[in-house]
Amino acid sequence: MEIPVKSGRLTAVISSQGGELLSLRDEAGREFLWQGDQRWWGRRAPNLFPYVGRCTNGQYTLNGQSYSLDIHGFVRTAELTGERLSDNACAFTLTDSPETRVRFPFAFLYQVTFTAREDTLTVAYQVENRSEQTMYFGLGAHPGFQVPLAEGERFEDYSLTFSAPCAPRRVLFSADGYRTGETADYPLEDSRRIPLTHPLFDNEAIVLSGTSGTVRLGSAAHGVTVDYREFPLVGFWHPPHSEAPFVCIEPWRSLPARQGVVEDFARQEGLVALPAGETWRISYSITLS
């Protein structure tokens, strides 16, 4: 199932598979979202739940039990129940099942809602813990945006520009995508800007903390602004050692496993610890320009 949502200035289309955004066009019909290409990356904007990134050996533990979990969790490949709320909003829901409980031993409700207003699409997540114990999880988003957006522009005409000066720290990763446990300063041009080049992404994702919470990916003429102020981390990614014509801007609430460590979810730093019976919410937005 695919559900479109519209405002006066944008149209988005969302799939019930993973609640994944498939298209994001402005009023002139320009497509801003990466459209998927197996040469580089076949996805468009997967949602990441109940984990962000990789578990060491695809495993984690909880209460002395071992569980298997694929990279970025299972929501991105699950079929969700879709509901049109209005012309400008829709929601997609997943609840636990015998299949999910084998990998994630909790009763839960996960919902992602898309709302279009003017030139902004807001993506809001809600997680309910329907278990009788504290639930531990991570959550993130992985939307890709086309670069460049117009004929005659080059990848190098674009930059990532934060809304205010900041001094971020980069979370360091091993070559195979695990945390090393270390961070490093990540200097910005004029304390705000990351000029784009393809080799910028050759050493895994650029995952930063301590940013302004809002970033624009664009040229002088075209771009998208992602407001992720509710998320403590943001990642920038495109396939390493490639000239892929897109960049992902990824709001993250948590981090992958440490290199060589099979994490205990009850102890892993940064995971959400949601008490029994409670509900947790977080959101980000994309504005076209």
- How confident is residue 46, by pLDDT bands cut at 50, 70 and 90? very high
- Boundaries of every domain in the chain: 2-288
- Token output for 130: 């329907």
Length reported for the chain: 289
Kindly state the percentage of the chain with pLDDT values over 70.
100
For 226-280, the pLDDT digits (tens) are 999 999 999 999 999 999 999 999 999 999 999 999 999 999 999 999 999 999 9
pLDDT of residue 94: 98
Q: What is the pLDDT of residues 109-155, one digit of tens each?
A: 999 999 999 999 999 999 999 999 999 999 999 999 999 999 999 99
pTM of the model: 0.97
Q: What is the mean pLDDT of residues 69-89?
A: 97
**Rounded distance between C-alpha atoms, residue 125 and residue 123, angstroms:** 7
Residues 6+ apart with CB under 8 A from 158: 147, 148, 196, 217, 218, 219, 223, 247
If 0-12 CB within 10 Å is exposed, 13-18 middle and 19+ buried, where does residue 277 land?
exposed
Give the number of other Cβ atoms within 10 Å of residue 124's Cβ: 17
pLDDT at 62 over 90: yes
CATH of domain 2-288: 2.70.98.10
